[in-house]
Amino acid sequence: MATTPGTHTAELPGPRATPLLGVTGNYIRFIADQLHWLHELRRYGPLVALARGSTRHVFVFHPDFNMQVLSNPALFRSLELWRMGPEGSSLRRLWTGLLSINGEVHRQHRRMMMPAFHKKKVESYRDAMVACIGRMLSGWKPGEVRNIFREMRQVTLLIVTQVLFGLEDDRETLRMGLLMAEWLERYTSPAVHLLPYDKPGLPFRHLLRVSERGEAAIRDLIARKRAQGAHGDDVLSMLLHARDDEGGSMSDAELVGQTNILFVAGHETTTNSLTWTLFLLDQHPEVHAALVEELERELKGSPPTIEQLERLPLLDRVVKESLRLLPPVPTAFRTSTAPFEMGGHQFGAETHLYYSPYVTHRLPDLYPEPDRFLPERWLKAEPPVYGYIPFSNGPRRCIGATLALLEMKLMLSMLLPRFRLSLPPGARVDPLVRATMRPKGGLPMRLHAQDKRFERPEVRGRIRELVALP
């Protein structure tokens, strides 16, 4: 357990405010380069002001503070700041899902959605996932160079759209998936949040138009599901039949928001996690070789069954360590609804608190040599519940965590025995944060038949600031 922070009565530490713009200037700089600012802010301690002398934006870098924020959803509400767009707009409806709603509505909706994400139900999606992954791999040829980020995005789009929406036509699935991926890309653009005005030429106006197309596509799908009786095994069919404690169902507007948020969260984070895991394996040939040996020994060339996944301990450790070192969401935040005390400091209502899986996962008290990729650490590591939070934690823990982990393990266990992926020597890898963290420009890698020639190509770029590479 990390050392518990002491009580402080002095001014909350933090960097100086930007001249002229003040706290707003610091916030703009943080949005523009989150990873740099996280490294800067963590130097001030476990509880840090974005700008010294202001407690409007506060960063928490300790498991105890994570627990205080994440275990009390009544006091620390979720992402309502991000529910932008005019009242009644498609943009606002598309963002009104589990990530942004609070209170009793959140509790009721989460309870209605939980059966679709129960462990046994998630395991029933295994065959659909294996089929999607198999179709992707069948199109790969040794010698090709493919953008692995793009490939992982395409296959996770196919999987999440089939599982969530029950779409089986790959062309329709990809059209739907790419439309919503465009929505997320525009939504997470810093320019949209810094200039949220519906004016000609501004990115915000383009976001509003894409939102209208996205909502229309989801509503069309809902109408078709209803016309067919919603008899499918997909999540949307289950939501159409779901009832709350009083027997009520979700409105179409609520279904639009929940479906969209499940979709964007369900493919974007898994895409990034898979991409970073394949990068880390390429940079650590000893782990890469050992994992391929484990997969070949247990699976003998076949996709894993659910039971076999339980007999792949190194695969489990590799996934855990990848999510620790390069979590898909480096930072998230909550907003306080009332005054509160934390770490000996008093804070008012409407304080924005930022918790960081990225920083928490690099606390040396919890994880010795925190910048190194060491799957073997999980043979002994026992971090506190709020010290390992790739899927957040508490009452609002990611509802799709089990689905994401299954998807990652199936992908890796089918891909790695068949292909060896390698970066071109001297490739530049720069992490980019747009709500989630991904490699800027993607991750081009060369495909080889699995020849066991594991090597460590030298890489350049900011990734070397995040991960201790040889």
Task: Of 4-18, 121-135, 145-159, 286-300, give the lowest mean pLDDT range.
Answer: 4-18
CB 51 within 8 A of CB 17: yes
Residue 7 pLDDT greater than 80, yes or no: no
Query: Which backbone phi and psi does 48 adopt, to 5 degrees?
Result: -135, 135
Element (H, E) at 289: helix 285-299
Distance, in Å, from the CA atom of 273 to the CA atom of 438, rounded to the nearest integer, reads 8
Residue 85 pLDDT greater than 80, yes or no: no
Distance, in Å, from the CA atom of 362 to the CA atom of 275, rounded to the nearest integer, reads 20
C-alpha angle 166/168/171, rounded to 5°? 125
Which residue bears the tokens 């067919």?
A: 228
Exposed/middle/buried for 349, CB within 10 Å: 0-12, 13-18, 19+? exposed
The tens digit of pLDDT for each residue in 406-441 reads: 999 999 999 999 999 999 999 999 999 988 999 999
C-alpha angle 359/57/357, rounded to 5°? 20
pLDDT band for 2, please (50, 70, 90 cuts): very low
* CATH fold of the domain at 87-337+400-466: Cytochrome p450 (1.10.630)
What is the residue extent of each domain of the chain? 87-337+400-466
CB 283 within 8 A of CB 455: no
Rg of the chain over all Cα atoms, to the nearest angstrom: 22
Distance, in Å, from the CA atom of 90 to the CA atom of 256, rounded to the nearest integer, reads 9
β-sheet bridge partners, residue 48: 59
Which residue bears the tokens 């898909």?
A: 328
Which residue bears the tokens 């895409």?
A: 271
pLDDT score of 79? 67
Residue 4 pLDDT greater than 70, yes or no: no
The tens digit of pLDDT for each residue in 178-221 reads: 888 888 888 888 888 778 888 998 999 999 999 999 999 999 98
Amino acid at 322: S
Element (H, E) at 324: helix 313-325
CB 188 within 8 A of CB 434: yes
Query: Which backbone phi and psi does 425 adopt, to 5 degrees?
Result: -55, 135
pLDDT score of 193? 78
pLDDT score of 84? 64
DSSP state of 421: E
pLDDT score of 83? 54
Least Cα distance to 462 among 279, 320, 270, 282 occurs for 279
Q: Which residues contact 58 (CB under 8 A, 6 or more apart)?
A: 12, 47, 48, 49, 50, 347, 351, 352, 353, 354
